[in-house]
């Protein structure tokens, strides 16, 4: 049910669709190639190293360091009601990078490149349909079922 992923979803069908199910249950998953062991976040079905299509999900801790960020004021369709919002890119402890909003637990004037952040699964509670995402929060912030 990948259409759950994101306030506005542009790609409802994917071989890694179960990612959204895991996210809804509070787990953030990367992918691991069953042939060569290469890992990836965001997850991908087809290994970029050995081209194998045989993959499995594995849970990542969500521990990350902020790499860069921006505050988007001029927002595109579907996001105007949220603007301005801060988008951060963070280096994950286990593998790869993640892009997400910097959440409410981090004040704007506290944001610094290199700071520790925690990736936290989230559900949009103000929307009728199920919409899940993840955000960058203060270390120690944990996921709670909404």
Rounded to the nearest whole angstrom, what is the least distance from the CB of residue 136 to another protein in the complex?
10
Binding test (CB under 8 A) with another protein, winner from 21, 89, 123, 138:
89
d(CA 125, CA 13): 23
Rounded to the nearest whole angstrom, what is the least distance from the CB of residue 33 to another protein in the complex?
16
CA dihedral sign of residues 119, 123, 125, 126: positive
Q: Is the peptide bond before 60 cis (omega within 30 degrees of 0)?
A: no
* Contact call for residue 14 and another protein (CB under 8 A): yes
Which among 72, 68, 88 has a CA at the least distance from the CA of 80? 72
Q: Scanning residues 102 to 141, which ones bind another protein (CB under 8 A)?
A: 113-114, 133
* Contact call for residue 101 and another protein (CB under 8 A): yes
d(CA 143, CA 146): 9
Residue 133 in tokens: 């995402």
Residue carrying the six token digits 């988007």: 72
**x/- map, 47-66, another protein, by CB under 8 A:** --------------------
- Span interacting with another protein, options 7-15, 21-29, 51-59, 120-128, rule CB under 8 A: 7-15
- Site residues (CB under 8 A) for another protein? 5-11, 14, 41-42, 67-80, 82-83, 85, 87, 89, 96-101, 113-114, 133
């Amino acid at each position: 049910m990948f259409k759950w992923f994101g306030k506005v979803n542009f790609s409802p069908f994917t071989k890694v669709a179960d990612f959204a199910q895991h996210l809804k249950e509070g787990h953030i998953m990367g992918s691991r190639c069953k042939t060569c062991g290469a890992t990836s976040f965001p997850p991908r079905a087809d290994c970029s190293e050995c081209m194998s299509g045989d993959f499995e999900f594995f849970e990542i801790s969500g521990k990350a360091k902020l790499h860069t960020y921006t505050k988007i004021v001029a927002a595109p369709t579907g996001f105007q009601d949220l603007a301005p919002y801060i988008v951060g890119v963070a280096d994950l402890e286990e593998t790869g990078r993640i892009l997400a909003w910097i959440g409410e637990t981090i004040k704007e004037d506290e944001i610094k490149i290199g700071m520790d952040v925690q990736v936290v699964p989230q559900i949009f509670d103000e929307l009728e349909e199920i919409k899940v995402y993840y955000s960058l929060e203060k270390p120690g912030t944990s996921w709670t079922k909404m």
